[in-house]
Structure 1
Amino acid sequence: MKLTISILSVFFLIITIGAPPVVENVNKDKANANSKEDSSDEMLNELEYGRYLKEVVEILENDPQFKEKLENASIDDIKSGNIAQHLGLVQHHIRTKLDEVKQREMARLRELVGRKIRNLSEKERMELARGDPNGKNIKDFLPQHIDHQNSESFGQADLERLIRHASRDLDEIDRQREQQFKEYEMRKEFERRAKL
């Protein structure tokens, strides 16, 4: 009987020592990870071309060679668009998917530009039609996150433009959020002092 009790107590001791960790911390970590993902998704949704960017990234991450290059690349290489040089390593079916996504984006942009033109006044339409030698009006009017010269296939220029444009736009969104937060804090401090 003593032997059975001592064996059971040792068995229970071993089980409790090897027990999994408390679940609360894991849930908090998952919540933090989810909030970070939600925050990045929220920022991408603020971009006019956020859905296109998400689709391109998801497709490129399905290619093991490109994903490896992406993971090994420095942040500067990614932000500058230099990672686009490795687009030639991407498998054919991945390139086909990228071509399809670009064609859908081009169709969306055509519709968007058509709506913008219809919303212009007659005078603004005439100015746009006249254009200028440098093409500044048209460049300001067309979204620049995509290569308009090659509308059929997704190429290195597309990836470079998309990355550079997204980096610049996300930095601008981040700067605006910081500014809004500062203004909020100043308003809060002003209200606190007004109560005194």
Structure 2
Amino acid sequence: MSPTTRRKETTAGPKMCHQIPWRCFYLFTCLLLWTEAVPVAIDKTKVQVPEEQKEEKVDHPDTGLYYDRYLREVIDVLETDKHFREKLQNTDMEDIKQGKLAKELDFVSHHIRTKLDELKRQEVSRLRTLIKAKHEMQNGNDLSMDHQALLKQFEYLNHINPHTFETDDLDKLIKTATKDLENYDKERHEEFKRYEMMKEHERREYLNTLDEEKRKKEEEHYEEMKKKHSDHPKVNHPGSQDQLKEVWEEADGLDPVDFDPKTFFKLHDSNGDGYLDEQELEALFTKELEKMYDPNNEEDDMVEMEEERLRMREHVMNEVDTNRDRLVSLDEFMTSTGKKEFLEPDSWETLEQQPAFTEEELKEFEKHISNQEQELSKKSEELLKQKEELERQQQQLNAQKLELQQAVEHMERLRSQQAQQPPVLEGEPNIQNGAVQPPSETGNHQPPAAGDAKPQESHQ
């Protein structure tokens, strides 16, 4: 199977990039939205609330962070404090990311702090359990390890004080989540570059296994697939009027003449929170991606399709999301529709027009792979030698075990023979080796020989 065929089977890998956290930035913004509505005076004694509504609880979106549960639990507890909600209304996203909101923790009620203390203790206990399990798997049981030193790797809480939730804990939690998500796009691009370089490396390695004629045919097929993939309809610039009008007409079924940006925004704000989040934006690019990618085509790589989708979303966010909260508000959206770039956009450069790596980067990557293969080969040889030595020792042990068994069996046979021989009584002949032996007598007296005279009786 050639690399060209194999690459179509690798469609699950990049999806994980798509599912990696991006919504943590606006978890705290969600608190603002939750408190923006003007309260209406209602006589609660006359309102019947169904049981289902009483127990209903709105969950925060899963960020995908490994400390997501702890993050959401802290937010849920803080939401219940009136003072914290009021401060949240007057704090913008930039101040939140800089840690100014964390200082308000000193003014929340005592029972809120108590709940936060308990959450932190549970989280520290969870981390210690994970550390111990990992340590035991790698190094065996070692009960003397320093948990405090190992907890330093978890930057989202203050490990020095594992018992109480302080201002520093909230500050670390916000800043760590912010940093993790800001680095996500960079890490995603690097991951995709590695994927593309590995694909090209495998293709070249496969070519090296072919003779000249087959190699030529494979190269021709490869170029044909590239040309076929690039032969697609025009791709509209993401976020431009042409692109949005196409969605308006084909996805929404509306007349392009009646295109209205404000109406378009409300149509695609699927959760009705007044913002276009990253998933809602990515859904707008489906029509453009379908022009370039078809899972049934050999020449189309679904990994590259997901990377293209994320590039489009990233581009629109950079152009429209002016406050960098990873959300597009209605005001930001309307402002972007008044720009020249919205009406007369530049042409969009797709992935095939922007190589993911250079030849120098590929050579460096192949060198790294070669070093890894050498290391693996060396370790494999060492393991093989260890295996052979263990087999030799096992053979010696088996030989010793066999000798021991034979010795035990020989001793058992001797004991069995001795047990089967009848005891020899005094006066009875002892038959040995088929000859009858005279009974033994006490002393050294020998019987008289034939013809000997009887001994004379002694006289007193």
Q: Into which bin does the TM-score normalised by the smaller protein fall?
A: 0.5 to 0.7
Which residue is 1:113 aligned to? 131
Aligned length: 145
Query: In the TM superposition, what are the counterparts of 1:79-118 in structure 2 within 5 Å?
Result: 79-118=97-136
Closer, same or farther: CA 165–155 of 1 in aligned 2, 3 Å: same
- Distance, in Å, in 2 between the alignment partners of 1:180 and 1:73 is 36
Q: Deviations over 1:50-94 (max 9, x none)?
A: 100011011111111111212311222211222111101111111
Conservation of the 8 A alpha-carbon contact between 1:63 and 1:91: yes
User: Is residue 95 of structure 2 the alignment partner of residue 74 of structure 1?
Assistant: no
Conservation of the 8 A alpha-carbon contact between 1:113 and 1:142: no
Conservation of the 8 A alpha-carbon contact between 2:152 and 2:159: no
Which residue is 1:14 aligned to? none
User: Is residue 156 of structure 2 the alignment partner of residue 145 of structure 1?
Assistant: yes
Which residue is 1:170 aligned to? 181
- Distance, in Å, in 1 between the alignment partners of 2:225 and 2:84 is 53
Larger Rg: 1 or 2? 2
Aligned to 1:166, the other structure's residue is in SS state helix
- Distance, in Å, in 2 between the alignment partners of 1:90 and 1:191 is 66
5+ residue gaps, structure 1, are 1-37
Counting helix residues as a fraction of each chain, which structure ranks higher?
1
Query: In the TM superposition, what are the counterparts of 1:4-153 in structure 2 within 5 Å?
Result: 40=23, 41-42=61-62, 44-45=63-64, 47-121=65-139, 138=149, 142-153=153-164
The Cα shift of 1:145 comes to 0.9
5+ residue gaps, structure 2, are 1-20, 24-60, 200-222, 230-460
Aligned to 2:156, the other structure's residue is in SS state coil
Aligned to 2:119, the other structure's residue is in SS state helix
- Distance, in Å, in 1 between the alignment partners of 2:81 and 2:188 is 34
Q: Deviations over 1:31-51 (max 9, x none)?
A: xxxxxxx97324x22x11110
Which residue is 2:228 aligned to? 195
TM-score normalized with structure 2 length: 0.28
Conservation of the 8 A alpha-carbon contact between 1:79 and 1:163: yes
Aligned to 1:120, the other structure's residue is in SS state helix
Conservation of the 8 A alpha-carbon contact between 1:63 and 1:94: yes
Cα RMSD over matched residues?
3.5
Q: Deviations over 1:120-144 (max 9, x none)?
A: 348xx9xxx79xxxx9xx4686312
Q: Report the residue type matching 1:54 in the other structure.
A: R
Relative contact order: is structure 1 or structure 2 higher (C-alpha 8 Å, sep ≥ 6)? Answer: 1
Q: Report the residue type matching 1:89 in the other structure.
A: F
- Distance, in Å, in 1 between the alignment partners of 2:176 and 2:97 is 9
The Cα shift of 1:193 comes to 3.1
The Cα shift of 1:173 comes to 2.5
Aligned to 2:183, the other structure's residue is in SS state helix
Conservation of the 8 A alpha-carbon contact between 1:65 and 1:89: yes
Which residue is 1:18 aligned to? none
Closer, same or farther: CA 140–90 of 1 in aligned 2, 3 Å: closer
The Cα shift of 1:194 comes to 4.0
TM-score normalized with structure 1 length: 0.60
